[in-house]
Amino acid sequence: MSSQVPGPVPPPSEPTPPGYGAPAPTPPPAYGYPPQPGYGAPGQGGYGGGGFPPQPPQNNGGGGGKTGLIIAIIVAVVLLVAGAATALILVLAGGDDSDNDDRTDDDTTTETDEGYVTAVEDYFAAYDDGDCDTILDLYPDQFADVEECEDEYPYTDPDDVEIEISSLEATDVDDEADPTEATVEVSFTEVDLEGDTEDDYTVEFTLEKDGDDWVIVEYDSI
């Protein structure tokens, strides 16, 4: 059995460097990032290529602006309608007050004159129409009867005369609370249509209450 002395152990061999023109190994990609294309590589989006990808459109708040405009228009319309309704109510309310005032004035006149002013107005209307029955009802002592009234009526045709009253008012009442006698003054124009003449008169009527009615008992020219 022969014994051999081991010779020196050669050192481990070094990797052979790449020769000239041989491709260098590609380093592994960085953690989390894909490999980057080479500078100016065709078809790639590198520097000088297609640039960054298009960004999605940004919301500049246009929807909110339109909503505010719509709300403003609605508020303006509501205010206009409310203003018009208020004006209409005020106008209608004013008309009602005017009507109430007119009715109040009429009622006051009726309560104040207690019929004596109305009796004189009715007398002139009957005289103008040649209505002797009504004349005798309102002024019983003026004529003895209807026949005498018709005979003494100053106009042969009632259409030939027209009475135009310019003023009529009560000048004296014996008791405002419960009147039984009153004086009414009337100014009027008697127009003779046939003869085309006009005559002005002012007459004072004295009236007395007979039950519920007022009658003329006397008249005097002024």
Q: How many CA atoms lie within 13 A of 55 on its CB side?
A: 4
Closest to 50 (Cα-Cα) out of 65, 40, 59, 63:
40
What domain count does the chain have? 2
- Examine the domain organization and report whether 131 and 207 are in the same domain: yes
Q: How many CA atoms lie within 13 A of 65 on its CB side?
A: 4
Residues 61, 186: Cα–Cα separation, whole Å: 84
What residues make up the domain containing 197? 116-221
In a domain, 73, yes or no: yes
Which of 105, 130, 158 is where one domain is finished? 105
Task: Kindly report, residue by residue over 76-135, the tens digit of the pLDDT.
Answer: 888 888 888 888 788 777 655 555 555 444 443 444 457 999 999 999 999 888 899 999
Hey, what amino acid is at 155? Y
In a domain, 33, yes or no: no
Task: Kindly report, residue by residue over 133-161, the tens digit of the pLDDT.
Answer: 999 999 999 999 999 998 887 766 778 88
Is 26's pLDDT higher than 80?
Answer: no
Closest to 179 (Cα-Cα) out of 90, 101, 116:
116
Contact 183, 205 (CB under 8 A): yes
Q: How far apart are the first and last CA of the chain?
A: 190
Q: What is the pLDDT of residue 128?
A: 86
Which of 105, 134, 158 is where one domain is finished? 105
Task: Kindly report, residue by residue over 55-77, the tens digit of the pLDDT.
Answer: 555 555 555 567 888 888 898 88
Alpha-carbon distance values, 72 to 63, 65, 69, 78, 205 (Å): 14, 11, 5, 10, 72
